[in-house]
Structure 1
Amino acid sequence: MRNYKNIRTLQDLQAKKLELKVEYKLKQTLLVADGKTYLHQFTPAALFKKYVTPNNFFKVDDKLNISGTAMSVLLPMFMNKTIFKGAGFLTKAAVGLVSGKVGKSLDAEHLSGIFNSVKGWFSKNKEKKAKKFVDYGIPPDSETY
């Protein structure tokens, strides 16, 4: 426990109380900011942005486009399993052909652009109300105040 020998009057006490309150708020703000920064680096979006970049995709030449080849296989499967679930054989075949061609034209730059635009839809910043300071010290109506 700290020893406050320099507090002699009520004004000194109130000044020290105000100083401690400011110090408390500053440390609280810094701790919350550091915690948010630390936790933000482990979110899926931050990990995706860190490891999945256009430079990390292996594109040896135009014939070996791994991201385009993967999308030409995955996009028709995704479309047929979700959007066109109850469609007939001809509709699924047409969707498979069209989405396969679209998937081949997608490369790393297109995929990262699509991801960033979808992420922008969901990451709207909401303003929060500032929390009121709660003081659990000496009540103002107390005789010792």
Structure 2
Amino acid sequence: MKKTSRRYNINNLEELHAMVSSLKAEHELKGDLLLNDTKSYFKQFTIGGMIKKYASSSSLLKLDDKLNISSGIMSMVLPFLMNTTLFRGSGFLTKTLVGLASNKVGKTLDAEHLSAIFNAVKSWFSSSTKKTEKTPQYVDYGIPPDSETY
């Protein structure tokens, strides 16, 4: 790092005090800027920053398009889920057929299909819980307010 020296034209004590106070103010300003830059730099490496950067829906869809992770996970999870919940008391042959069928269905599901299914299920629950009452609106029958029938 090259050290540069500044040359100041200071003639009396008042100019010296003014220069010292301006240099202190400049030092404080640069220190604050450096601190803010450091905080923002380290913030991007926190868990929250990583989640915001890499776990957003657009980045997950891009990653899933490349690696097809969601269909691989669903092809393993869906047969297990079906056999442990819906077909719990079934025999070996039924569980095998359900496992093969749900494995094929799981391979066809990707992130877009899963998000569409999630949004559809979410809309069922959100629409049933939120019922807003509609206020009756004013109906204009075309009768002027200064008419005799009003």
Structure with the greater alpha carbon radius of gyration: 2
More helix as a share of residues:
2
TM-score (norm 2): 0.47
